[in-house]
């Protein structure tokens, strides 16, 4: 038998950095967000070039698990990984073994067997990303879990606001609509809070969760409150989450009359955002959606670069400063 030699501590290869996830805005700091936004900005410049692909994540595997329908989020994650030269695999619940009743745990373990570097997961149930993080070795990115969190959406919204208005500190954002069912709202309230912005929630009483003020925002049922905001963030009236007979509002017609965002309720120059998909004529008037002050298309573009930034950040260590930026320029 071969001799067992004791390796000296200082000869050991350095331990791999701790596995990081991006599951909730609650887990990150202002510094993290600043770093991610700076990286996103760098990538935005790279997208202006004719050849848009960067070799940064070549040889890495990003698996997208989407257990809920999605256009923007799934396409932008897939494109973000591809723009960074990572291999991608996309799994949807329909047409996969989930259809055959496989549990999330087993699906995650199965995909984990391919040693993915990142698993991006969208799931209708709160806590699904944590479960995937527990049973696989991958970095996990939450692309929306039930009504809980959608942290990359918050990040792209911050990016959009900063690019359009030049600041986040002391910015006043009114979030309008169905806050109760909105993971977008929850992540955004926390992210804006971290960056020193002021948040006012506006919506029908039953769609403003009881106790939500403890998240550090104001809440009112009066639509006139949007007048004071720099940004009016319109939430989708989530019809698919409206249970039969729940009576959150008497009717969509009444909702639109009371809380619909119309040109009459806005000041000139107020920016309008919407995470999509929009119900035109329900929560947002088509004239508002198509107006120059609407940043809705900008948000989609921001989704790509911020998701590139998240993938890049998780798979590299340390902050991305100016130096790294110049390296990327030549890459």
Partner 1 sequence: MLFGKDAPKENLLVRGTRVLDPVADLDATLDVRIDEGVIAALGTDLDPNSHRVVEGEGLLLAPAFVDPHVHLRTPGREDEESIASGTAAAAAGGYCAVLAMPNTDPVVDSAATLGSLVEAARIEAEVPVGFLAAITKGQSGGELTEMAELAAAGAVGFSDDGRPVAAPGLMRRALQYGAVTRRRLALHCEETTLSHGGQMHEGEVSAELGFTGYPSVAESLMVERDLALAAYERQPVHLLHLSAWESVQAVRRARAEGVAATAEVTPHHLCLTDEALRSLDPNLKMNPPVRSASDRTALIEGLKDGTITAIATDHAPHARYEKEVPFEAAPFGVTGLETAFSALYTHLVEPGLVPLETLLERMSAGPARIYGLDEPRIAVGSAANLVLLDLNASHRITEDLFRSRSVNSWLLGQTVKGRVRATIAAGRLAFAG
**Which of 81, 120, 128, 202 is in the footprint of partner 1 by CB under 8 A?**
128
d(CA 119, CA 102): 18
The interface region with partner 1, picked from 76-84, 102-110, 226-234, 282-290 by CB under 8 A, is 102-110
Can 186 be counted among the known catalytic residues?
Answer: no
The CB-of-218 to partner 1 minimum distance in angstroms stands at 14
User: Under the criterion CB under 8 A, does residue 243 sit at the interface with partner 1?
Assistant: yes
Q: Which is nearer to partner 1, 205 or 227 (CB)?
A: 205
Can 58 be counted among the known catalytic residues?
Answer: no
Q: Which is nearer to partner 1, 179 or 284 (CB)?
A: 179
Q: Which is nearer to partner 1, 22 or 312 (CB)?
A: 22
Produce one character per residue of 137-168: b if its CB has 16 or more CB atoms within 10 Å, e if not: ebbbbbbbbbbbbbbbbbbbbbbbbbbbeeeb
Q: Which is nearer to partner 1, 125 or 279 (CB)?
A: 125
Per-position x/- string for 251-270, each x denoting binding to partner 1 as judged by CB under 8 A, each - no binding: --------------------
**Which of 2, 7, 51, 214 is in the footprint of partner 1 by CB under 8 A?**
214
Task: Tally DSSP H helices, then E strands, for the chain.
Answer: 10, 9
Can 26 be counted among the known catalytic residues?
Answer: no
d(CA 45, CA 8): 46
Q: Is 23 helix (H, G, I), strand (E, B) or coil?
A: coil
Can 148 be counted among the known catalytic residues?
Answer: no
* E strand residue ranges, the chain: 61-66, 87-92, 118-123, 139-145, 172-176, 198-202, 218-220, 231-234, 271-273
Q: Which of 21, 35, 122, 183 is catalytic?
A: 122
DSSP result, 158-198? HHHHHHHHS--TT-EEEEES--TT-HHHHHHHHHHHHTT-E
Question: Could you give the C-alpha distances from 151 to 13, 62, 145, 227, 286, in angstroms and in order?
Answer: 34, 18, 10, 27, 27
Question: Could you give the C-alpha distances from 227 to 73, 160, 261, 283, in angstroms and in order?
Answer: 30, 20, 11, 16
The tokens for 212 are: 């939500």
Q: Which of 41, 60, 72, 172 is catalytic?
A: 72
User: Under the criterion CB under 8 A, does residue 127 sit at the interface with partner 1?
Assistant: yes
User: Under the criterion CB under 8 A, does residue 131 sit at the interface with partner 1?
Assistant: yes
Residues 173-212 that bind partner 1 (CB under 8 A): 183, 186, 209-212
Can 72 be counted among the known catalytic residues?
Answer: yes
Q: Which is nearer to partner 1, 63 or 305 (CB)?
A: 63
The tokens for 163 are: 């690019």
Please work out the total of residues on this chain that contact partner 1, with binding judged by CB under 8 A: 24
Q: Which of 150, 271, 274, 307 is catalytic?
A: 150
User: Under the criterion CB under 8 A, does residue 126 sit at the interface with partner 1?
Assistant: yes
d(CA 269, CA 231): 9
Q: Is 134 helix (H, G, I), strand (E, B) or coil?
A: helix
d(CA 273, CA 234): 6
User: Under the criterion CB under 8 A, does residue 130 sit at the interface with partner 1?
Assistant: yes
User: Under the criterion CB under 8 A, does residue 148 sit at the interface with partner 1?
Assistant: yes
**Which of 112, 146, 193, 319 is in the footprint of partner 1 by CB under 8 A?**
146
Applying CB under 8 A, the residues found at the interface with partner 1 are 103-105, 123, 125-128, 130-131, 145-149, 183, 186, 209-212, 214-215, 243
Catalytic positions, written as ranges: 72-73, 100, 122, 150
């Amino acid at each position: 038998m071969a001799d067992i030699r004791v390796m000296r501590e200082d000869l050991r290869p350095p331990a791999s950095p701790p596995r990081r996830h991006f599951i909730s805005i609650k887990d990150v700091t202002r510094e993290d967000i600043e770093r991610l936004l700076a990286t996103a900005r760098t990538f935005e410049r790279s997208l202006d070039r004719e050849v848009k692909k960067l070799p940064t994540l070549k040889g890495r595997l990003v698996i997208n698990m989407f257990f809920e329908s999605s256009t923007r989020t799934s396409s932008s994650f897939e494109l973000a990984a591809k723009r960074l030269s990572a291999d991608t695999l996309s799994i949807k619940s329909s047409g996969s073994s989930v259809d055959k009743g496989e549990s999330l745990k087993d699906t995650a373990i199965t995909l984990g067997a391919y040693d993915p570097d990142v698993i991006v997961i969208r799931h209708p149930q709160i806590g699904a990303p944590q479960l995937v993080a527990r049973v696989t070795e991958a970095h996990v990115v939450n692309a929306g879990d039930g009504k809980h969190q959608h942290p990359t959406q918050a990040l792209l919204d911050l990016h959009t606001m900063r690019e359009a208005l030049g600041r986040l500190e002391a910015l006043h954002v009114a979030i309008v609509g169905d806050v109760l069912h909105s993971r977008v709202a929850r992540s955004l309230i926390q992210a804006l809070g971290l960056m020193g912005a002021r948040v006012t929630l506006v919506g029908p009483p039953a769609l403003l969760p009881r106790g939500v003020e403890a998240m550090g925002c104001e809440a009112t049922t009066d639509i006139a409150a949007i007048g004071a905001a720099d940004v009016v963030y319109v939430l989708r009236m989530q019809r698919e989450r409206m249970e039969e007979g729940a009576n959150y509002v008497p009717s969509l017609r009444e909702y639109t009359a009371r809380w619909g965002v119309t040109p009459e309720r806005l000041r000139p120059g107020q920016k309008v955002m919407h995470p999509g998909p929009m119900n035109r004529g329900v929560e947002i008037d088509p004239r508002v959606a198509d107006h120059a002050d609407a940043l809705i298309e900008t948000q989609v573009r921001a989704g790509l670069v911020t998701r590139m930034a998240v993938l890049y950040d998780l798979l590299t260590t340390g902050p991305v400063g100016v130096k790294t930026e110049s390296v990327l320029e030549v890459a």
